A = this chain, B = another copy of it.
C-alpha cells in the first residue's frame, strides 16, 4: 500500500516568504478555498445558527462529530435520511471527525485495546465499541466529504514511552482504516500524533504517507501545552508532510492561532471557540475581544465591530446585544454566534487574499498591530 492517490488540493499561490499558501480543495459537495476555518456542528447543527446563516457568513465547510452522532440519533438513522447533509439541510461540504478525541475525553469511561476503543455513552452509560474500521463505516453512513481516521489522543504532558506506544497504535489503526474504506469518493485523512517529540511526529508522518491519505491532520495539539510549543510542533511536523496535500490542524484555535497556523503551512482549522464564546458573551472584533456584559456597552450605539459586515453588525447595537445577553434571550446566542463565525471566516478570507497578493507576512504584522490588547 502506498500513496497512489492524487491530492484533492490544488495549490494556487505559495508565499515567497513563509509556508503560507492558498488553494482549492475538491470534495464531493464542491470546492473549498483554502486556508479555511470549519465551524463545528457537533450534533448535526452548528449551535444557534441556521444553514442559511452559515452560507451568508461565508462558511464553506462545517464539521460534524462522529461520537455524538453515533450515540444520538445513530448513523443508521442518518444514512436512512440520505446522510448528514440531507438530515441537517446543509448542502456544502462536511468533515466528520472519527470520534477519537471525544472518546478519549471520557477518560475512565474508555478502554483502549489493539482492537479499538471501548467506551460508555455519556448519555445513558451504554457500553459501546468503535474500531478503526467502525469509525470509517460510521462516517461512510454519515456521508461526510472528508472522513478522519480513528486515532489515540495523547494527553499533555506524556512521557516518551507512553507517546511512542500510543503513536504506534495510531499508525496501525490508520493502516486498518485505509484498508476498510469503500469506494464512495469520500476523502480520508490520516492524523499525525507523536506528542511533543518532533522525531516521533516525523516518524508518524512518514508512516501515514507510506499508507497514503487524501490529507494529513495534526492531532494532539492545543491540549494544554504552551502556545509556543504548539507552534513549534506544527512547524516541525508540517515540513515532513507532502507539499501537495491538505494539512489540517485539529481543534485550533484562537484568531492568533489561525494566523500562526497559516504562516506555518496549515490549510484547515476547526474549533468550538467562536460559537462557545459567542454563547458566553465574548465577541471577536478587529480591535480585539469584547465582553458584551460589561456595563460600558449599556448605551453604546456602535455595532460590535465597525469594520464588520455581518448580519449582527449591520442591524444591532452593542447596547441591544448587551440587553439581550443580560436577559439570556436566545436571540443573543444567535446574533453573537453569527458575528463570531463571520469574524473567523472573514479572517480566513483576508488571509487568502494576502497570500494571493504575496504579502502574508505584512498581513500578519498588521494583524497584531491593530489589536491593542493582544
Question: Given A77-B299, A89-B316, does the pair A47, B334 have CB atoms closer than 8 Å?
Answer: no
CB distance from A94 to the nearest CB of B (A): 15
A43 to B326, CA, bound (A): 11
CB-nearest residue of chain B to A337: B330
Instruction: List, in ascending order, chain B residues with CB within 8 A of A317's CB.
Output: 81, 87
A330-B333 in contact given A73-B323, A301-B81, A323-B72 (Cβ < 8 Å)? yes
Distance A51 CA – B331 CA, assembled complex (angstroms): 10
Contact code string A312-328 (vs B, CB < 8 Å = 1, else 0): 00011101100110110
Per-position 1/0 for A75-112, Cβ under 8 A of B: 00100110000011100000000000000000000000
Q: Tell me the minimal C-beta distance from A56 to chain B in angstroms.
A: 11
Q: B77 contacts A319, CB within 8 Å?
A: yes
How many chain-A residues does the 8 Å CB contact rule pick out? 33
Q: Is A45 an interface residue (CB 8 A)?
A: yes
Chain B residue contacts of A210, Cβ below 8 A: none
Question: Is A48 located at the chain interface by the 8 A CB criterion?
Answer: yes
Cα A72 to Cα B50 in complex, Å, equals 29
- The residue on B at minimum CB distance from A45 is B331
* Contacts A80-B299, A81-B317, A87-B320 supplied; 16 other A-B pairs, CB < 8 Å: A43-B323, A43-B324, A43-B327, A43-B329, A45-B329, A47-B331, A48-B334, A49-B331, A50-B331, A50-B334, A51-B315, A77-B299, A81-B319, A81-B320, A89-B315, A334-B334
Binding site for B on A (CB under 8 A): 43-45, 47-51, 72-73, 77, 80-81, 87-89, 298-299, 301, 315-317, 319-320, 323-324, 326-327, 329-331, 333-334
